[in-house]
Amino acid sequence: MSSHKHKEHLEKIKDAVIHAKELNEDQKSDSVKRIEEWVMEDKAFGLLEEELLEISEYFETLFAELGLSK
């Protein structure tokens, strides 16, 4: 995946996290922090997906809604 497309996906996820009613404020804050780190470090999306799933199972649904699931 190109770096540009990678960043677009991360921004899409970040926006969805901020507006997610299924996550509490701590989960949102932790998730956004991790997403921003991924943007800065340009890490592989699969690793981020694993980390976010550790925060909440909701991310499985979110990724599917955004068309980003495996």
> DSSP assignment of 14-52, as one string?
HHHHHH-TTS-HHHHHHHHHHHHHHHHHT--HHHHHHHH
pLDDT at 2 over 60: no
Q: What is the pLDDT of residues 24-51, one digit of tens each?
A: 999 999 999 988 887 777 666 677 788 8
Stated as kind and residue range, the H or E segment containing 70 is none
Task: Give the pLDDT score at 36.
Answer: 86
Class of residue 31 by CB neighbours under 10 A (exposed 0-12, middle 13-18, buried 19+): buried
Task: Give the pLDDT score at 27.
Answer: 96
Percent of the chain with pLDDT over 70: 84
